[in-house]
């Protein structure tokens, strides 16, 4: 079974005329099956699809990694392109995700969740499937969520918050999800933002799913706040899975991407808009 993953949205564009935006989206093609994972912020999805010679016609399922706007912003447009479609996500997808900038201490947190409501998306043809624990959703495809976040290897983004009454508390993004895609050899882990923590997700694969080896890790790793020293344990954990390729994007951060590239060398790639990975 041949698997082809095309990056449709990322912070950086990999070819002329493609649009780079703060967000992530990937098209997964397996034989005659087609899936969409995240939809970017809604800026470049339509244009990038056309330039890449791709279409969302025939996409039977849209998976969402979490409810932030930069992963759900293009969802309304995508549903209109696919026609009535299953949308699979964690039940907390529509949480009131917010962000508070440390540069403006007096400012109120701003909403950064889905720009469209559940009712609006359902009126366009979305049929939601809610999954709160790791589940096999298609032949060879697992929706990975409900990961246990071990405190010693979890670094939450301090800017991400929720309002609870008059209080502002840390948003741990419990709706975070990834995809595990089986290939002819070892599976591929496709990350949206990895808010649960890369090491926690890898531990979950090993402890709950008995996965010992991965062919590749692709997508956003949310290492943007990690120093090179903090990235070293992540590298060690990735190496334990014997990956042949690690291709990072979106929320990885330039500093961490450079650290990863320095270690993995020929096994490293930047998963920018327009990148294609075949397995």
Is the predicted pLDDT of residue 145 greater than 70, yes or no?
yes
Residue 228 CA to residue 258 CA, distance in Å, equals: 9
Structural element, H or E, at residue 270: strand 268-270
Residue 81 CA to residue 75 CA, distance in Å, equals: 10
For 46-50, which contacts have Cβ atoms below 8 Å and span 24 or more sequence positions? Answer: 46/74, 46/77, 47/18, 47/19, 48/8, 48/9, 48/18, 48/19, 48/273, 48/274, 49/8
Buried-exposed string 55-87: b where 16+ CB fall within 10 A, e elsewhere: ebeebebbbbbbbbbbbbbbbbbbbebbeebbb
Average pLDDT over residues 91-95: 98
Residue 224 CA to residue 157 CA, distance in Å, equals: 9
CATH assignment of the domain containing 270 = 3.60.15.10
**Among 211, 193, 199, residue whose Cα is nearest residue 236:** 199
Residue 51 CA to residue 15 CA, distance in Å, equals: 10
The pLDDT tens digits for 159-204 are 899 988 888 899 999 999 999 999 999 999 999 999 999 999 999 9
| pLDDT confidence of residue 236 | 97
| pLDDT confidence of residue 165 | 84
Residue 219 CA to residue 247 CA, distance in Å, equals: 6
Q: For the chain, what percentages of helix, strand and coil (3-state, to nearest 5) are there?
A: 25, 30, 45
Between strands 135-138 and 268-270, the pairing is unpaired
Global model pTM greater than 0.85: yes
Give whole-number Cα distances, 20 to 81, 100, 127, 184, 272, in Å. 21, 24, 29, 32, 8
Average pLDDT over residues 36-41: 98
- DSSP structure class, residue 273: B
Is the predicted pLDDT of residue 158 greater than 80, yes or no?
yes
How many CB atoms lie under 10 A from the CB of residue 245? Answer: 18
Q: Tally the domains of the chain.
A: 1
Average pLDDT over residues 82-92: 98
Is the predicted pLDDT of residue 126 greater than 60, yes or no?
yes
The pLDDT tens digits for 219-255 are 999 999 899 999 999 999 999 999 999 999 999 999 9
- DSSP structure class, residue 31: T
Residue span of the structural domain in which 92 resides? 3-278
| pLDDT confidence of residue 226 | 92
Is the predicted pLDDT of residue 106 greater than 70, yes or no?
no
């Amino acid at each position: 079974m041949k698997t082809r993953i095309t990056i449709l949205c990322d912070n950086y564009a990999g070819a002329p005329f493609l649009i780079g935006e703060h967000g992530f989206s990937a098209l997964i093609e397996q034989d005659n099956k087609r899936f969409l994972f995240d939809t970017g912020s809604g800026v470049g999805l339509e244009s990038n699809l056309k330039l890449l010679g791709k279409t969302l016609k025939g996409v039977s399922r849209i998976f969402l990694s979490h409810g932030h706007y930069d992963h759900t912003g293009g969802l309304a447009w995508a549903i209109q392109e696919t026609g009535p479609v299953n949308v699979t996500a964690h039940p907390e997808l529509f949480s009131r995700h917010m962000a508070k900038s440390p540069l403006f201490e007096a400012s109120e947190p701003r909403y950064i969740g889905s720009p469209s409501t559940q009712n609006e998306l359902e009126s366009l043809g979305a049929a939601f499937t809610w999954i709160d624990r790791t589940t096999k959703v298609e032949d060879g495809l697992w929706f990975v969520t409900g990961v246990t976040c071990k405190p010693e290897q979890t670094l939450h983004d301090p800017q991400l918050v929720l309002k609870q009454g008059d209080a502002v508390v840390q948003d741990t993004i419990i709706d975070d999800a990834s995809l595990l895609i089986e290939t002819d050899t070892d599976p591929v882990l496709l990350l949206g933002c990895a808010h649960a923590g890369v090491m926690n997700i890898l531990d979950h694969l090993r402890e709950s799913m008995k996965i010992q080896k991965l062919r590749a890790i692709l997508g956003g790793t949310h290492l943007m706040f990690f120093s090179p020293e903090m990235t070293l344990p992540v590298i060690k954990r990735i190496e334990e899975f014997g990956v042949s390729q690690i291709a990072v994007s979106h929320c990885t951060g330039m500093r961490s991407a450079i650290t990863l590239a320095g270690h993995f060398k020929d096994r490293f790639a930047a998963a920018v808009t327009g990148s294609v990975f075949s397995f």
